[in-house]
């Protein structure tokens, strides 16, 4: 396995801690042991567990040492909205991981991408072939896929410089104080649960825009602008202002009125300049079936 370090969410982090976050199902203790046994290389050199990772470091470790099976192409139905030689736009369904974990190796978006496309960018390693940004397991909607390395490098730069306009739909609990506004906080990994995120003064800057499309007091339907791309950003921000996304079990979005097994959140719009041709591109999709269903139930339409 080859991992190219992206420290957008990490600062002054040791390699054993970085790998424990990246390889979520493996303990920091086990990973430290592999590092001490020189089974983890950084830029082709052995290091110590206290090594501080740097942007664009190349980390190499053998999957056999972790007893992880290699990722395979799988014939999974994929909604491909657009495709050219360098990029594709896909509509990711609910209930699909963007990329494999050390335990879940099948039925991810990357498995599907490897089957449907002859070439995929490897700028983020084989485990994240074609992936330049993510959607959560239970978030559906539009994603940009890098098919060439040239596009992959350019898209990473574009996301870093906030040159991709991303819009979402969500149904949240309660009535917001204002019809539209901006949420700005720092976000970091939760100290209580490393798989979740939280608002924190030591985190990375995050900015979300919102506009209320409709409300009945108990619930509101929002249009959201994702200005930065922190992990779980929209879910954390909306929970922070006491209006969690309906169905979001991790961030307080469960109610007795509705039994929903996922957050009602959809990435519905992408606008950006093509990373190679510079042509301005814009993609939108209709409401997902779950958001449409609960929209009609909640707002009686």
Q: Report, as residue numbers or ranges, the catalytic residues.
A: 136
Question: Which of these, 275, 219, 229, 206, lies nearest to 6 by C-alpha position?
Answer: 229
How far is the C-alpha of 128 from the C-alpha of 73, rounded, in Å? 13
3-state secondary structure 48-65: CCCCECCCCCEEEECHHH
How far is the C-alpha of 5 from the C-alpha of 51, rounded, in Å? 13
Look up residue 296 and give its two tokens. 């009609």
Q: Which residues are within 8 A (CB) of 200 and not within 5 positions of it... i.e. 6 or more apart? A: 186, 187, 188
Question: Which of these, 240, 300, 238, 299, lies nearest to 265 by C-alpha position?
Answer: 238
Can you list the positions of beta strands (E) in 147-192?
165-173, 180-189
- DSSP-derived 3-state class of residue 14: strand
How far is the C-alpha of 10 from the C-alpha of 211, rounded, in Å? 30
């Amino acid at each position: 396995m080859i991992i190219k370090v992206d420290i957008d969410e990490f600062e002054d982090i040791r390699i054993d801690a970085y790998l424990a976050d990246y390889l979520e199902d493996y303990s920091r203790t086990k990973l430290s042991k592999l590092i001490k046994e020189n089974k983890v290389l950084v830029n082709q050199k052995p290091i110590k567990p206290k090594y501080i990772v740097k942007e664009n470091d190349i980390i190499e470790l053998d999957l056999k040492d972790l007893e992880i099976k290699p990722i395979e192409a799988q014939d999974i139905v994929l909604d491909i909205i657009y495709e050219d030689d360098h990029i594709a736009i896909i509509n990711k369904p609910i209930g699909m991981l963007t990329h494999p974990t050390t335990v879940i190796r099948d039925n991810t978006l990357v498995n599907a991408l490897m089957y449907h496309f002859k070439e995929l960018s490897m700028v983020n390693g084989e485990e994240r072939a074609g992936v330049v940004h993510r959607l959560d397991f239970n978030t559906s909607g539009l994603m940009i896929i890098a098919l060439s390395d040239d596009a992959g490098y350019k898209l990473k730069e574009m996301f870093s410089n906030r040159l991709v306009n991303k819009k979402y739909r969500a149904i949240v609990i309660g009535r917001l104080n204002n019809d539209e506004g901006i949420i700005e906080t720092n976000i970091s990994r939760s100290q209580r649960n490393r798989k979740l995120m939280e608002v924190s003064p030591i985190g990375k800057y995050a900015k979300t825009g919102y506009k209320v499309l409709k409300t009945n007091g108990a619930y509101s339907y929002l249009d959201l602008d994702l200005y930065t791309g922190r992990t779980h950003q929209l879910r954390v921000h909306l929970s922070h202002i006491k209006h969690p996304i309906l169905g979001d079990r991790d961030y307080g979005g469960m109610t007795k009125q509705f039994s929903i097994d996922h957050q009602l959140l959809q990435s519905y719009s992408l606008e950006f300049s093509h990373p190679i041709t510079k042509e301005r591109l814009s993609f939108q999709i209709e409401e997902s079936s779950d958001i449409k269903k609960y929209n009609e139930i909640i707002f009686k339409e």
